[in-house]
Amino acid sequence: MQVVGHVWNGWTLMDVRSGGGTRRVSGWIALGMIATLVTGCTGESTAAGARDGASATTTAPAEPVALTSNVADRAADVAPGVPVTATAAGGTITEVALTSPEGTVVAGQIAADGLTWTNTEPLGYSKTYTLAVTGKNADGRAETTTSSFTTATPRTYTYLSINPLDGATAGVGQPLAFYFDEPIADRAAVESMISITTSPAVEGAFYWYDEDEVHWRPQNFWTPGTTITIDAKIYGKHVGNGIYGQEDRHVTATIGDSVIHEADGQTHQVVTKVNGEVTRTVPTSMGDAANPTPVGTYVITEKHDHMVMDSRTYGLSLEAGGYVTPVDWATRMSNSGIFVHSAPWSIGDQGHRNVSHGCLNMSPENAKFFFDNAKPGDVVIVTNSGGPALESWDGFGDWQVPWEEWKAGNR
């Protein structure tokens, strides 16, 4: 049998030829016959596809997001200066509310990857906070966890003072000195709270002079032009024995020109070098045989255009040969009372003999020039005076401590 299709007036007509005859049938009858044939040819493949679909596996739903915090639920004595952190595993954080007892929401920041959140403003002491963390898993299903904790109540607070002051320009011998108004029990913890950044970078170390005083310095004198940034993050942090930091401190300072005065007790001269170049040489008179000026590296700390020098302030009575003397242009070298100052009464001895009680005597003109050009942190190196070694605790005698000993920290 042969089927031939014709289109006539919108209909499809089929000529069915069998043997020697031909007959025409309507299109839907012929197409029905063809559809039956096609269905018969493809029936086995369709059935197989159905069987394959029945055996396909279904994807399992994602695990819920796991939300945790570095502060345990109902924790007490939480240090308010330690950041609160929320963390997501198997998903991301979408919202966090850390709420104070007054109902104020503490500011915080979700990380760009959505895996952590940290508060960006400090917490208060002696307060109970509520932490609500919401996150979602890979399927978008949300979960929320809620917890609470109470911050510490200090036994007392400690305030930190820093030398140099913010904005200061200091000399190349300037140590960084930190003074607490309470004794520090956890010295290692305090060191970790104080960040010191310098440009150019330099290695430095802490050294404890007392239970409430620690200094930091590099191995050698600073390089002129160095910038120093100090960030002491002590607020809300425990420094031992129930004492917490009162407030953070921030200081920026700059190291100025290198000014080093070399005072020789045998030549009776003070040679001043600025950035390595000799700029001035003047006569002096140091401590006499009964009061020799200690040898070593001094650091200038302060100056007074006029002051009364009283030996009783460092333990020498008037009966034992002490003195009460007004002086001008006094630049302090040590806490034990050693100054560079004007001494018009000893001009004839200056450059020839040592006749003072330990100070470096100069003429009024030379003392004023020294005074006018001095800045905290400038260095005076005393040699050949016949005196004992300068004690490291006497003023800023920091450079008297060998570097390896300094690095050990004296904790």
User: % helix / strand / coil in the chain, to the nearest 5?
Assistant: 15, 45, 40
Specify the pairing of strand 259-264 against strand 379-383: parallel
Look at the domain 156-256 and name its fold: Immunoglobulin-like (2.60.40)
- Residue 311's pLDDT is what? 80
CATH 3.40.50.10190 fits 259-400, yes or no: no
Tokens of 187: 């010295």
Per-residue pLDDT band for 176 (boundaries 50, 70, 90) equals very high
Q: From CA 375, how far away is CA 286, in angstroms rounded?
A: 21
Q: Which CA distances in Å does 339 have to 184, 200, 284, 389?
A: 32, 32, 12, 17
Question: 282-329: per-residue pLDDT in tens?
Answer: 999 999 999 999 999 999 999 999 999 888 877 778 887 778 889 999
Residue ranges per structural domain of the chain: 1-38, 66-151, 156-256, 259-400
Q: From CA 203, how far away is CA 225, in angstroms rounded?
A: 16
**What percentage of residues in the chain have a pLDDT greater than 70?**
86
Question: Right CATH number for 66-151 from 3.40.50.880, 3.40.50.2000, 2.60.40.1180, 2.60.40.3780?
Answer: 2.60.40.3780
For the cut 80, the answer to whether the pLDDT of residue 34 exceeds it is no
Q: Which CA distances in Å does 245 have to 80, 186, 208, 306?
A: 10, 12, 18, 38
Q: What amino acid positions are annotated as catalytic residues?
A: 341, 359
* Mean pLDDT to the nearest integer, 143-152: 98
Per-residue pLDDT band for 199 (boundaries 50, 70, 90) equals very high
> Same topology for domains 66-151 and 259-400, yes or no?
no
| Verdict on whether the full-model pTM lies above 0.85 | no
